[in-house]
Amino acid sequence: MSVRALRGAIQLEVDERGHLLDGVRKLFQEMLLANGLDQDDLVSVLFTATPDLVSEFPAVAARELGVIDVPLMCAQELDIAGSLPRVVRILAYAETDLPKPEVKHIYLGGAAALRRDLVTAGESR
């Protein structure tokens, strides 16, 4: 068993609390499902949001899914001119038997543009 880092991101349509929480829950659940993980496998999770997202802490979505005994942290992305707006990113550390090349990173919606090298056709849900 090794600790692996899973990446994911979602671009939201608007900065509204319900929309943000729904999107982050979807992203987080897809990250776990794609890698055959459950909450017990998690070591810690870092959530970041672009500066234009202020309606809620993204980590609240994970708490609402029952992730209680895992350290969660939120941070703000750098405000770089021309960067993709309304994006939440997740960097989750988990214990798994997956080799590094088999870890699946999930990019939903417009966030697929962030890492086209990691997204195959049809995965930019």
The residues annotated as belonging to the active site are 7, 63, 74, 77, 89, 107, 115
Contact 17, 96 (CB under 8 A): no
Q: Which pairing describes strands 42-49 and 72-76: parallel, antiparallel, or unpaired?
A: parallel
The pair of structure tokens assigned to 5 is: 């880092």
Sequence-distant (≥ 6) Cβ neighbours of residue 120 within 8 angstroms: none
Q: How far apart are CA 85 and CA 77, in angstroms?
A: 10
Report the alpha-carbon angle 79-80-82, nearest 5: 125
